[in-house]
Amino acid sequence: MTIGGGDLDRAFTGSIPEVYETYLVPLIFEEYAFDLASLVAAGSPRRVLEVAAGTGVATRAMAALMSGVEITATDLNQTMLDHAASMLVAPGLEWRQANALELPFEDGTFDAVVCQFGVMFFPDRPAAYREARRVLAPGGRFIFNTWDRIEENEVPMAVSDAVASVFPDNPPSFLRRTPHGYHDLELVRSELEAAGFLDVRVATVEHRSRASTARDPAVAFCAGTPLRNEIEERDASMLDAAIERATAAVAERFGTTGIDGKIQAHVVVAR
């Protein structure tokens, strides 16, 4: 039986965290992490909560920009959190497993809640947004980003289309469905407003996705995200073939070295 979405989309297990950090973070996450960290720092918070911290790229950016700030970085996936904790130990920083839908913190505890490309994975976003609002102090800000549609993200789209061609009768759709599936800004605003946020501001931000070779993004997405779970759920022996097909597709569009493609995301600040 083929599993579509659901828990499969949130399963960052096995070797995925290491591949994610090595390939995916420099490819698409680092610049947006510093965007978020700069927005957080501009508010001069004393206590910050990060949800869905992953391997900690935004956490590291915040720690680098802010001193004397207490940061509690959480993730539901302990494997990702363990990898993040192994990379950064800093004064005032606590790593803690937590579910964004049921945060284990008192009301009004934090001046800012931050989420780097995590809201797309929440099984109940309005519930997660209500929790973020609950733990914010009066005047606090919820700051997060979400990818724009996959057509505005050139390298991920090339990989997604290539992998789909490997399984034409049952194409994996993780990248299009989940990371790039929450780009409707009217929906984003309505869900935040339903959770009690009245001041919602959005900026659409373009960056560049760069890699040394065409194989790097192929490995990043095929082996460093739950797209791997979709591939192996169809045929575990086909992971290498999917990576090779994706490598060829990226090379055809961007060349074999010096990969450079557009990426685009929405950055949201809600009070």
- For residues 42-61, average pLDDT: 97
Distance CA 118, CA 17 (A): 15
């929790």: which residue's tokens?
131
* Percent of the chain whose predicted confidence (pLDDT) is above 70: 94
pLDDT the model gives residue 7: 58
Distance CA 189, CA 19 (A): 33
Segment holding 266, helix H or strand E:
strand 257-270
Cβ–Cβ under 8 Å, residues 175 and 231: no
| Cβ neighbours for 89, distance < 8 A, ≥ 6 positions apart | none
Hey, is 115 helix, strand or coil?
strand
Residue 6, sorted as left (phi over 0), alpha (psi -120 to 50) or beta, turns out to be left
Q: Label residue 209 by pLDDT band (50, 70, 90).
A: very high
Q: How far apart are the first and last CA of the chain?
A: 43
Phi/psi at 143 (5° precision): -120, 125
The stretches of 43-124 forming alpha helices (DSSP H) are: 57-65, 78-87
Distance CA 32, CA 117 (A): 9
Residue 105, token pair as written in the block: 């913190």
- Tens-place pLDDT, residues 158-187: 999 999 999 999 999 999 999 999 999 999
- For residues 230-240, average pLDDT: 96
- For residues 42-51, average pLDDT: 98
* Percent of the chain whose predicted confidence (pLDDT) is above 90: 92
Phi/psi at 262 (5° precision): -75, 140
pLDDT the model gives residue 6: 55
pLDDT the model gives residue 112: 98
The stretches of the chain forming alpha helices (DSSP H) are: 16-19, 30-42, 57-65, 78-87, 125-135, 154-166, 174-177, 185-194, 215-223, 227-235, 239-254
Statement: residue 8 has pLDDT above 90: no
Confirm whether pTM is higher than 0.85.
yes
- For residues 63-91, average pLDDT: 95
pLDDT the model gives residue 16: 77
Q: Label residue 15 by pLDDT band (50, 70, 90).
A: low
- Tens-place pLDDT, residues 117-146: 999 999 999 999 999 999 999 999 999 999
